[in-house]
Every structure is written in structure tokens, then in C-alpha cells.
Structure 1
Amino acid sequence: MGTLVARLRLGPRPPPLWMPSGGCGRRLLGAEAGAGAEAGRQYLQRSIVPTLHYQASLPRLPIPKLEDTMKRYLSAQRPLLDDSQFRRTEQLCRTFESGLGKELHERLLAQDKQNKHTSYISGPWFDMYLSARDSIVLNFNPFVSFNPDPKPDYNDQLTRATNLTVSAMRFMKTLRAGLLEPEVFHLNPAKSNTDAFKRIIRLVPSSLAWYGAYMVNAYPLDMSQYFRLFNSTRLPKPGRDELFTAEKEKHLLVLRNGNFYIFDILDQDGNILKAAEVHAHLKYILSDKSPTPEFPLAYLPTENRDTWAGLRQELLNNGNKEVLGKVDSAVFCLCLDDFPIKDLAHLSHTMLHGDGVNRWFDKSFNLIIAKDGNSAINFEHSWGDGVAVLRVFNDMFKDSTQTPAITPQAQPAPVDSSQAVQKLNFRLNDTLKAGITKAKEKFDSTMKTLTVDSIQFQRGGKGFLKKHKLSPDAVAQLSFQMAFLQQYGQTVATYESCSTAAFKHGRTETVRPASVFTKKCSEAFVRAPSQKSTEQLKEMISQCSKYHNQLTKEAAMGQGFDRHLFALRYLAASEGHKLPELYLDPAYGQINHNILSTSTLTSPAVNIGGFAPVVPDGFGVGYGVHDNWIGCNVSSYPARDVREFLQCVNKALGAIFDVLEGKPVRS
């Protein structure tokens, strides 16, 4: 199960979750094999196993034993505390475990038994996201960018926008028709990812299907979040936002220069518009000379959620109900930018936050396409984790590059786009204009504080590390511990998450990469490398890897401590209890102040991904361990120095590789 895990970041704010698509078989029909076969272009595939076939029989997310949670919590606290702090935290754990914690745990178990349709974490987790009042920009929405189309001329903005849009719609149609391959993690694909197995398993009742897959070492994943991918948005409300989905709506929302356009991307029968017509409508929008509005509405979703809720009500009161409804119910938001990307840092800034004018951050996702065809998805986080996002991302890339809807030489359809495309106009009063102006000022001043930079370590990657029987992820995480110790002289709270999507309505669990093993190993490398032999250092790296694997496997099985403690705290608050002393302990606050917030994903479709730090004095570390290199894309606010941190990461990886190659470590 360990390799099933996807890692990400978490702090007091909820994190993005990256998860591999599970290697599901993708079968393209003969009719779909080339561009222009319109009849066959409605679907990505026609899975013989219904999309949600395994959903009813997914196992339930377990609630860990309270004593196990306490042990794991103390193990994670040990490298962060001195002896006297640790003794105090240990005492608080004992008191909690035998007192109020025990009572809360028993009530949580009873509550869970009464709600077998879901998981114990699902409700509280939704509540946490939707009740958060901070701006969703930087604090919540991450981005993941596509690799360029392998065929250079297909990266023309209009061509790529058409192809990615049509592929996204084909995914939506396939999902809603139940023809999308179920999301399954195959540990033995030769047995489970075959047509023969699929023909058998589709005949097994849904209530038993999971067990059939399990018998051949396949793990179906929860797909309950997928329906929120399309026609969905987060609506700002005072105190707690709401999720809204309107599956019957047929129009696409397009933003360009801060102007809003819509056109029906599905016809009256629910079929995707011909690619040549999509091509024509997008060409029409790209040729529109309308300047950026004086008061760009898109700044409003970048505001504090309560502020935005008040301004949205003002919009509704001022005669904008119909146009806002069109924005909220659109299948997704396509953002066409009028400039090329200069470098990786510019790419990260553009896709993570942009200039605030040309995104609608509340939509389930924004598909962003720059002038040179550089593309990314920026997604709103409250509706779900990244399992669904990375699946649609991978399938869109594969479909748009292997069976593109149009070629660069294709001509748009001879249709009157001026009739089909509607430009949305908003009625703004002085209150709204003042609100937009203030939102712009806040947005601009905040974005100026964010720095993003990246490195590529070229000496080796997954292949080299696996040859040395080491977990590539463990080595990357060790390098972050070493780098931070080198730069700031301490070990700090570190977050990495894994998906619990192997369970019904599973969300995420946290891996805590800062351990007594990584601390000891980091100190040996950073402070006194000459005092240890190469073999001793190699053994210490190996211990870090083994322990990291153990933590990862426990988390994947729902056996971490973070979600359990979160649920107990949520239950205490909902029942009106005074907060147990364990949660008032400075050590609890410190371990949840995640200075190193980390997330990894690798996929043939992914160029780079990123997110902001989750605390003002933290780093947001996006990374990927590839076959022959290791990439790192890191963000920070002024309290931290990104460039120096990346230099330290590079040095740390070099030292680790030196040891593994049998060379002495250079101090």
C-alpha cells in the first residue's frame, strides 16, 4: 500500500493533495483515433466496468486506537521539543488519554457507527475548508502546470485552448455517462488491469466488487468528489461558504483581459459542440479588442470570504443575479492570458495567482492558457482533494496530445460567433467599485510579498536511489531537513500528506517527515560529517528511509494521528466542551505551525506544481523525484530566504549522493 500514497502539504490551513492517477487502463475507440471523427469525440473511453462500480463496497476509514494516536503524536513531537517540554507534553497526553480524550474517542466511535455512509473525517474536513475566512488565493488554491504539447506547433494558444477544452468536455461526458475507467491502484496490473478481469468484475454486484479487486491486489479509490469537478463553484456566505453545482447547464465561462464571456459548449442534446465551432468561438474571443474593465470583477473572489460574501450580496441586490448565476454554473473557467511565460518563476506566479484580473478563483478549477500555450489548472480546494484534479489533468493531457480535436492548420467553422458568444456585463454601484478597488490594493500588496524559485538536481533520481534500496521520497524529505538545519540551525514542524482515498469518503492523513532519525542524520551531515564514516552515514540514511516508509504506510491505512486528534477536537467544540489542555499546549500549536509544508507529484503530464507557504514564516515546497533528476519549486514570504534554502537543498542532496557513491562528505 505504501506506493499508493500521494504526498502534499498541510498546516493550520487545509492542503492540496496530489495523487497518482493509479495507472488505470485508458482505451480509445477506433472511431476516436484521429482528429475530426466528431461522432466518436464525445467520450474519452468506454469502460466496461461502470465508473462508480466499486463505490458501494469501499472499506470505511478506520478510527485509530487512542493509545496508538498518543504514541504517534509523541514520536512526532520528540525531535521538536527539549526534554522539559517533552515531559510536559507527555503528561498532557496521559491525562487526555485516560480522561476527556477517552470519552471523546468513545463518542466519536459511536457517531461513526451511526454514519456508515461516510467517513468520520469528511464532515469536519468540509467544515474546516468552508468556514475558513482567509482569501482562497495563496492560502488554499494550488496550481499544477501541463508539460508543453510534444508537437511544438500545437502549443499555439488558440490550438491548445481548443484541444484542452474539448478534452476536458470529453472527460466530463465520459464521467457522467459512467464510462470513465474507475480509479484503481493496481499492485499487480498483469492480473487486475486486464480486459479479462474487467469482464469478470463488472458482473460482481457493486456491494461486493471491492473485495473482488482486493483479491487480485487492486485497490479501488473513492470517487465521491468527482461530480464537483464541473459546473461547480464555491459561494461566499457569511461565516461559512456553500458549494453549488448545476449539472444541467451547458455553457463555458471564458475570461480574457478581465472580460467575461460565455457560450454553450454542449448543444441541446447534450453533445459537445463540434471542435471547429469551439475553435471559432475562442478565436472570436481572442480577437475581441475590449480593454480591461476599469473595475475588474475578478478581484472580488480574492478577498476575505466574509468581505466577499457582503459584496456578492450587493452584486445580487444591484441586478446581477442572472449574470452571476452564469458564472457560478458554467462547466469550468477557461482563462486566456495575453502574454507569454518568461521562466519557471514567472510560470509559478502566473498560475498560482496571476494579476487578479483574469481568474475566477471560486470555480472548481480554472484552466489557464498563456499566449505561448503554457497551460495549468488552478483549483479551488473546498470541494475535494487532488485525486480528481490530477485524474482529469492527466486524461486531458493524454487526450489533447494523442488525439487532438484540431490541428494547427485547421480552419474554424464558418459560424457567427458574435451570436453564439455572450459577453457578460455587470452593474456596479459605488459600493461595489470601492470594494473592487480595495480588493485590488490588498491583492497587489500581498502578491508582492511572495517569492518563488526552483532548482533541478541532475546527479540522479528515482533509479539511483532505488538501486540503493532507499525510498526516493524519504531522501527528498531528508534533504529538506538537512537544508533547514544548515540554514536556520533547527528542526521544525514539517508536513507531508498522503491520500486516504482507498477508503470511502477518505480525505488525507499527515506524514510527519521530521523524526528523531532525520534529526540525528541531519546533524551528523551538517555539523560533524567527518566524525562519521561513510558507512555509518549510509546506515543513518537507510534508517531514515525505513522509518519514513513506515509512517507513509500507516498514514495510507488511516493510521496517523493528525486527523484523529482533529476530529476529537472538532467533536469537543461541537459539544460545547472546554478545549482539552492537550490542545492548549504550546507544543500542539508548534507542531501544527508547519514551517516546512511539502507536496510532491510526478506524472508525464506535469511540468511543475506549486502553492504558497501555509504560515508567514514557512516554505511551500513543491517537489518531484524523477527517474534521473530531482526538482524543487519553493515559495516563501519575506521571513524566509528561498534562494538560500534551495542552495542548501542542492548541497544536502549532493552530500547524500556522495555518501551513497562511497565518497567522503565535503563539509
Structure 2
Amino acid sequence: MAEAHQAVAFQFTITPEGIDLQLSYQALNQIYLSGLRSWKKRVSRMRNSVIKGVYPASPSSWLFVVIATLVTMYMHSDPSMGLIAKIQQHLPLRYTDKHTHFFRDQKFVLPSLVSLVFSTLLWLSLILALRFCLKLLLSYHQWMFERHGQISNTTKVWVTLVRLFSSRKPLLYSYQTSLPHLPVPAIKDTLSRYLESVRPLLSDVEFKQMTELASQFESTLGNRLQRYLKLKALWATNYVSDWWEEYVYLRSRSPIMVNSNYYGMDFLYVTPTPLQAARAGNTITALLLYRRKVNREELKPVGPHIFLRVPGTVIPLCAAQCERMFNTTRTPGAETDVLQHWQDSEFVAVYHNGRYFRLWVYCAGRLLSPREIEYQIQRILDDSSPPQPGEEKLGALTAGDRIPWSQMRKQYFTSGVNKRSLDVIEKAAFFVTLDDEEQGMRGEDPVKNLDCYAKSLLHGKCYDRWFDKSFSIVIYKNGKNGLNAEHSWADAPTVAHLWEYTLATDAFQLGYTEDGHCKGQVDRSLPHPQRLVWDIPSEAQVQRSLAVAQALADDVDCHVFPFRDFGKGRIKKLRISPDAFIQISLQLAYYRDRGGFCLTYEASMTRLFREGRTETVRSCSNESCDFVKALEGGEQCRRLFQLASEKHQNLYRLAMTGAGIDRHLFCLYVVSKYLGVESSFLKQVLSEPWRLSTSQTPVQQMELFDLKNHPDFISLGGGFGPVADDGYGVSYIIVGEDMINFHVSSKYSCSETDSHRFGAQIIKAIQDIMTLLSVDSKTSSSSKSTAQPETKKLL
């Protein structure tokens, strides 16, 4: 708001009588309040920097150490074992009898000053020691591999120590310097696990050839590459993350729409208000409240899903991905894109009906109320001005190939009005699209409408989203909303945490009036949202980018469906991991759909380590394949399912604890490229297609949703496009005890895939496996009950 008023804060004119100076006190007051807000944020950041800088100690502990040292010296004891005397010798001022009365006073002042220096050094040393001990504790991951109810004595001691070191309430980034670094697995172990993962996918001849390739790689080039990788691990915070971000995401020259970006959906059954402007008002407010929590570091650096084996113990996760959540954009380059992040932004960028607007969300240093944001959004909706030439489909540049967008940006957006308008979009807190369509599970064909809803969030019209922003919010005409997120800056769990908070805050905390409007008062003197001005001399490249994006969007086949026959409640009663149950069901569904098995990607997080992102769980294992074949052969194979489930859980834990396969091999491949050497083994490994790419959207804040009193407020989760041209992308979210939502994607251009057909196969596979396990469970229970009377008779 300050920028909008700086031009009119004061005016002056030169007259024959002199200079006539006119001040706008209202504008000056708003500039003052806005500046005051900025200084408050700086002070808050400085305070948080001190608090997290000394964690797990506290700033007040310094005073305790100083007082303890002074008291000890007063009692004529030297706690420093001679160190204080040595420090005193090196200070520039020393007491001598020849000096004046002022220096004789130093006989008492100087020892106190030296004690202060010693106490500070001692305090800093204790902090480093505590932090080192905490890092050692957090490097212990054996607790994850222990069975429920069978916790070892080592883990019990570890739990006690972790609770002791984490007794202080941490800020969001308090644990960052105490998190362990991601370890580099032994190359022999990685190759062994890799060969095991591809065994069910290869014939005997192919597997023998692959084994020979792996053995040759290990004995020749592999150890050399491993040495360089270990050297990087010693130097870098995380040996994977920077290369993963650059080479997997930022260096990709193909469209990020569909191929990289993903989406999140609104509530399934409920739309809190049918008013588009009101839903936008609450959604924008909730997002800005979350940003405030991030800036103040008020979020907990943990997730409930990590309390796998030690309930009640704080196991911190890396929070580095939160740093670039807001005020961030991906800018195109000729060879690689760049992520740009700004410290703060007091506005959002809004797109409606082919026009771009800047909407200030702060006024006089305060956040606008939800009702005021609704009022401003309604002004945009009521604005009937037409788009400028080239403005309406400008966003298609972010949806097409990256090189043409880079060239266009360099040619037309480096100066003048185009640069100023582009700066507004890129520096905005986030991007908002006021869509002119209605979406959601509605009408006479809710299944088809859900699929359209997914496609709309994934790509829209290919020009009405700004796909380069860290995330874009979509508000539909009927009040439904959704989210489209860029992938390079963070992974889905980070965005899911943000979206959970947004939906819950919108519906349960901010709320709406009886007529559907936002709550709060309105200052009707607020200046109008600012139209962005463009000068686009040629639309040819915009049209070419739109054509590329449209062809990509038209090829995506999305299918979204809720499964309500049962959920994790019934699965866990069988003492089975819900995730393992679903992943094995997906293997069965794919086998039935395609008549075989394929390389399967399941995303797992590595945020137990500093700057950790993801690792691949290769869900297609020997055990899961044996179970599927046995089930299709008509066998009763509960034991095989149990083995497959345990194998999957073990693979997931290995991935989480830094013993995965794919990130290690990926980094070895990058090192080989830097050294200019070729490896036929690595080349073949990294060229293998992931025909089944899967991901679970974790529910991290169930305490925000009261499903008992508000059972209809259930999130649909989110999804993504297919990774392989002839494969499927499957995302699922386990909601509450009795529901699982699935998102399936594939490509129409592939005659062998069909998202609806695969969705039906998933449902049938889940039902068949549950029937098998339930029958075996009942048989086991009845045999136990019949055995008891016989035992009594024998007694």
C-alpha cells in the first residue's frame, strides 16, 4: 500500500510567490504504518534468529552461566582452571599501581569483564556440544524398524534423551543445524538392492546381463564415482538436493504444466459459500495467515505421520522447503531456469477474464479483513474493461516449452511497462485465478464432473494460470477452489500442509455470514485494484506456446474417485500398513490391466535429514509379484501378502533413512557427466521408464478437521500427470477411518492405458484383497475358538 501512495504523499508547485507545498497526511500516515510493519518484521526475524541460533539452549541460559561463573569466582574458586587469567593477560587494559584512581577501579571491573568473556565462550561451547549430541541422537533410525509393542532398550533410552533435548518449544527452523546429513550408501549395497528390485521385471537372460553390467560398474568406474560423491557429501549440506532440483526440475526444457506441476482440490461434498468473491476473500486471508506463521516460525517442525513407532516423541523434519513457499517464482532461462525468492510482498496477482491485476492485501501496515479482500475481489469481477492486445493468453508462455518463453522474456520483458507488470506477478505473494467456470462433484454426472475438475486444476485453459509461480490459487464461479503448485521449490507434503491449513481456516475459523459473505468490516475508501499494463508487439510466440500446451492438456485423461467401502480403520484391524495394502493393490490392478508388472515409483520423503526431499520406493518387489501371481492362480495366499506387506514397509523405511537406490544412482550419474565418462550401466538404469508412478498425499493436521461433527468436510487430496507416455500416475489420500480418494492419470494417445479402466481395476483389487484377508482372518479366529474347548477337555 505504501507504493500506491508515495506518488501522492506530497505535491508542490512553483508560483511567483514561491513554492506551494501540499502534504497528504493520510498518505504519509499509511507510508509510516507500512514502514513500521516492516521494522516489526525485521525485529521479529532478528529475535527468532537468536532463539533458533542457540537451540537447544535458550538465550536466558547465558545469564545463568554468567551468574554461576561470577558466584564461583566470588567464592575464590577458579571454574576456568586458569583460562580466565590467560584471557586477562591478553586484554589491552591491565591494572597497575601506577595508574590513577580510575584504573584502580579496574581491579574489580576487569576480572568481571574477563569472567563475562569466559562465560560467553563457555556458553557457546555448551551450545555446540548440545547441538552435536542432538545431531547424534537424530542420526539414530533403528526405532523405525522395530515392531509395534517390541521397542528395544536402546530405543527406550534414545526416546528419553530426545525428549530431554527437545524439552524447549522449538521454532520452525530450530532443528535445522541439528539435523544429520544424508549419508551416502555403500555402492555395493545400492547395486544389490537395485538388482533385487528389477529381478521380477527381467527374464533370466536379461537379469544375467544386468548383473554382469552392475558387477563391471562396481569394479571399474563405480568406486571412482563414489569417492567424488563422498567428497561432495562432506562439503555439501545434502549431496542430492541441489542436483535433484537443478537437473530433474530446473534444467528440463519441456513444459512444466502437466509434466511437473501438480494440483490440490477443495472439499469433496461441501462448498462453504457459493459466492466467488467471498471464497476468494477467505482463501487469500487463510494463505496470508499461514505466511505469517511461517515468517514468525510458529509452525511445528514435525509431522504426525513421522510418529511411526514412538508416539509422543518429537521427531523433527527438515523445514527448509517452507522458506520459498511465498513470494517465489520460477524464471525461464536458455539452459536452466532459476528460482527467485523475495523476502516479502504486500500484494497478490489476480487474473480474471483475460486481465491481470495487482491486489494490495495490506493497508496502513495491517492485513485487510476477509470482507475487505472480498470487496476488492468483487471490484475485479465487476470490472468490464476488455483485455489489452496480447494480454488474455499471455500466461500460455509459462505453459509451453521453456526456451521460447526464455527468449520472449529476454526480448520483450526486460524494460518498460512489460517488465513492471511482470515484476508484479513474479514478486506477488502468490497468484490467484478467478475462473469463469463451475467445478466440483455436482450435477447429474458427478463422476465426469470430478474428472473435469481435476483437469481444470491441472492445466485449466493453458493460459489462465501462471504456472511459474510457487503456487496458484483457483477460485471458481460457484465458490469451489483449488490449487496448482510448481514442483521445483518443494514437494507435495509441504504444499499439502499449507492447503490443509487453508481449507480448515477458511471453513472453521474465518467462516461466513448467513448470506455467504465474509465476516468483518469494510473500508470502502480502499483504492481500486491496479490493472497491469502490457505492450505485446507480437502474439505469434504466445500462440505457439498455447498450441504446445493445448496439445499436452488435451492428451491427459484424468479420473478422480472416492472409495468408501472401507478405509484405514478396517485395514489396521488386520494389523497391516494401509500404505502397503494400497501399493500391493495397485500391483494387482496393474497386472490385471496390462498383463504384467512394471517398474513402480512411490515417493518417500527424506526430511529426517537436512535439506532432504524425496527418495523412490520401488514398490514392485519379488514378494508383491509372488502374491499377485498366487492370487490370480486361485491360491489362498495370506502368508504371501504378509511377506509382501513387510517387504514394502522395509523398503519404505530404508528410503526414509537414506538407504534408497535411485537418488544414489542419480548422483553417481551426475558425477560421471561432470567427469566426462560414460557408464552403460548407469545409462540403462536412468533410462528405465516408470510406467506406474504413485504418491500418497499425507494428512498431517487432522486436529484441524472435526470429522465427527462435520463428516462432509473431507478433502479430495490432489494429483499429477502421468510420468510415462504409456503409464499411469496414481495419487491417493487416506482420509479418516473409512475413506480413500484416488486420482488416476494417463494419456489418451496411448491405446494401452485408460484411467477409468484402471480406476475400476483398483477398486476391484482393493475389494478382492480385503475379501481374502477377511476370510483368512475369520478362519483363523474360528479355529482358535474351536481349539479352546478341546484344550479345556484335555485339561
TM-score by length of 2: 0.70
User: Which position in structure 1 is the counterpart of 2:246?
Assistant: 127
The unaligned stretches of length 5 or more in structure 2 are 1-140, 146-167, 443-448, 700-704, 706-713, 778-795
How many residue pairs end up in the alignment?
Answer: 583
- Show the counterpart of 1:282: 377
Q: Secondary structure at the match of 2:616?
A: strand
Distance in 2 separating the partners of 1:457 and 1:250:
41
Name which of 267, 274, 280 aligns with 1:147.
267
Specify the alignment match of 1:650 in structure 2: 763
Q: Measure, in 1, the Cα distance between the counterparts of 2:617 and 2:142.
A: 12
Residue from 48, 51, 67 that aligns with 2:188: 67
Give the Cα separation in 2 of the matches to 1:344 and 1:282.
Answer: 26
- Aligned partner of 2:400 among 292, 300, 303: 303
Residue number in structure 1 paired with 2:176: 55
Q: What is the rounded CA distance, in whole Å, between the counterparts of 1:436 and 1:624 in structure 2? A: 37
Distance 2:679 2:256 in 1: 30
Deviations 1:633-655 (A, max 9, x none): 21110211122212222222222
Please identify which structure carries the higher helix content: 2
CA deviation after TM superposition for structure 1 residue 48, in Å: 5.3
Amino acid at match of 1:103: R
Q: Which residue of 1 aligns with 2:691?
A: 595
Counting only pairs closer than 5 Å after superposition, residues 251-262 of structure 1 correspond to structure 2 as: 251-262=347-358
After TM superposition, which residue ranges in structure 1, 4 or more long, deviate above 6 angstroms? 1-5, 186-193
1:548 aligns with: 648
Residue in 1 that maps onto 2:257: 137
**Superposition deviation, residue 352 in structure 1:** 0.7
Q: Alpha-carbon deviation of 1:574? A: 1.5
The CA deviation at 1:315 is 2.2
Residue aligning to 1:538: 638
Q: What pairs up with 1:7-406 in 2 under 5 angstroms? A: 49-115=170-236, 118-128=237-247, 129-147=249-267, 153-185=272-304, 217-269=313-365, 271-291=366-386, 295=390, 296-317=393-414, 319=416, 320-341=418-439, 342=442, 343-404=449-510
Is contact 1:474–1:548 with CA below 8 Å preserved after alignment?
yes
Q: Is the 8 A contact 1:185 1:221 kept in 2?
A: no
Equivalent residues of 1:259, 1:423 under 8 A apart: yes
Largest Rg, 1 or 2: 2
Q: 2:698–2:734: 8 Å Cα contact kept in structure 1?
A: yes
Alignment partner for residue 628 of structure 2, among 522, 542, 547? 522
Q: 1:273 to 1:237 in 2, by over 3 A?
A: same
CA distance in 2, matches of 1:309, 1:172: 30
Distance 2:309 2:570 in 1: 26
Q: Which moved more, 1:296-305 or 1:628-637?
A: 628-637
- Consecutive unaligned residues of structure 1, counting only runs of 5 or more, are 6-46, 194-216
2:435 equivalent to 1:435: no
**CA displacement, residues 560-606 of structure 1 (integer Å, 9 cap, x when unaligned):** 11000001111111222x22121233x6522xx10001111253563
- Partners of 1:414 and 1:264 lie apart in 2 by 13
Q: In structure 1, which of residues 637, 640, 655 is the aligned counterpart of residue 747 of structure 2?
A: 637
What CA distance in whole angstroms lies between the structure 1 residues aligned with 2:579 and 2:308? 23
Q: Which amino acid aligns with 1:649?
A: I
Aligned to 1:573: 673
Task: Report the more deviating stretch, 90-99 or 407-416.
Answer: 407-416
- Return the letter of the residue paired with 2:648: H
Where do residues 450-489 of structure 1 align in structure 2 (5 Å cutoff)? 450-489=556-595
Distance, in Å, in 2 between the alignment partners of 1:4 and 1:362 is 37
Q: Which amino acid is the alignment partner of residue 756 of structure 2?
A: R
Partner of 1:494: 600
1:402: Cα distance to partner?
A: 2.1
Aligned: 1:612 with 2:612: no
Contact kept, 8 Å, 1:496 with 1:597, in 2: the verdict is yes
Q: Which amino acid aligns with 1:219?
A: I
Q: CA deviation at 1:104?
A: 0.9
**Aligned residue among 550, 572, 593 for 1:444:** 550
Percentage of matched positions with identical amino acids: 29
- Are residues 139 and 3 of structure 1, via their aligned partners in 2, closer, same or farther at CA, if it must alter by over 3 Å? farther
Shift of 1:190: 13
The structure-2 alpha-carbon separation of the partners of 1:325 and 1:149, relative to structure 1 and needing over 3 Å to count, comes to farther
Match of 2:48 in 1: none
User: In structure 2, the residue corresponding to 1:378 is in which secondary structure?
Assistant: strand
Give 1:446 deviation, angstroms.
2.0
Give, in whole Å, the separation in 1 of the partners of 2:395 and 2:438: 21
Is the Cα contact below 8 Å between 1:323 and 1:426 reproduced in 2?
yes
In the alignment, is the contact (CA less than 8 A) between 2:462 and 2:553 conserved in 1?
no
Question: What is the CA deviation profile of residues 611-633 of structure 1, one whole-angstrom value per residue up to 9, with x for unaligned ones?
Answer: 11011111111123442233322
What residue in structure 1 maps to residue 791 of structure 2?
Answer: none
What is residue 529 of structure 2 aligned with on the other side?
421
Question: Matches of 1:294 and 1:621 in 2, distance apart?
Answer: 40
Q: Is the 8 A contact 2:435 2:474 kept in 1?
A: yes
For residue 291 of structure 1, report the CA deviation from its aligned partner.
4.5
**Conservation of the 8 A alpha-carbon contact between 2:496 and 2:698:** no
